[in-house]
Amino acid sequence: MSAMLDFDNACPQSQGVPSEEEFHNWISLALSDDAVATDEKPFLVGIKIVDELESAQLNNQYRHKDYATNVLSFANELPKNILEALEEIPLGDLAICAPVVEREAKEQNKTLQAHWAHMVIHGVLHLQGFDHEDENEAEEMEALERKILANLGLADPYIDTPLAS
């Protein structure tokens, strides 16, 4: 399944932000899993890298939570007849907070690259309708995340492991 990326880094002062190519690769992997329905049209995912202030504002506005968070997912809600007329399917948008991702990677003893990959894959799965609101949903979503990350050679993000030296 092909994927297109609309990328905006509104937090250029963060030095650890991956390249657009890496984001595109992670999106493609999250869309190519067997659990995802395929379509002839490419999927379009928007990613905006934000700072803590913008993340907190978005989190407050859309989730009524007053703090910056790692990734926010905004799934497309266009009607089917509109989607059929488009050349690509706008899957939705992700707002990823670079300072939060960087801080969490350190706190969780993960490489920054691995945590970025996890956040993108986690967000793209949300855009596809996966969730973790109850235990069964969480198990299904986390299993997909583990599988996709393992295909990248990355460790299970839900197990605390020390960084390799």
User: Do 159 and 112 touch, CB atoms closer than 8 A?
Assistant: no
User: Do 147 and 94 touch, CB atoms closer than 8 A?
Assistant: no
Checking if the pLDDT of 165 tops 50, the result is no
Q: What pLDDT does 33 receive?
A: 57
Checking if the pLDDT of 38 tops 60, the result is no
Checking if the pLDDT of 50 tops 80, the result is yes
Q: What pLDDT does 39 receive?
A: 58
Q: How many residues does the chain have?
A: 165
Q: What pLDDT does 159 receive?
A: 83
How much is the average pLDDT of 94-119?
Answer: 96
Quote the tokens at residue 48. Answer: 């905006």
Q: What pLDDT does 1 receive?
A: 62
Residue 16 identity (one-letter amino acid):
G
Quote the tokens at residue 145. Answer: 């995340």
Q: What pLDDT does 107 receive?
A: 94
Question: Could you tell me the residue ranges of all domains in the chain?
Answer: 3-151
Q: Specify the fold of 3-151.
A: Collagenase (Catalytic Domain) (3.40.390)
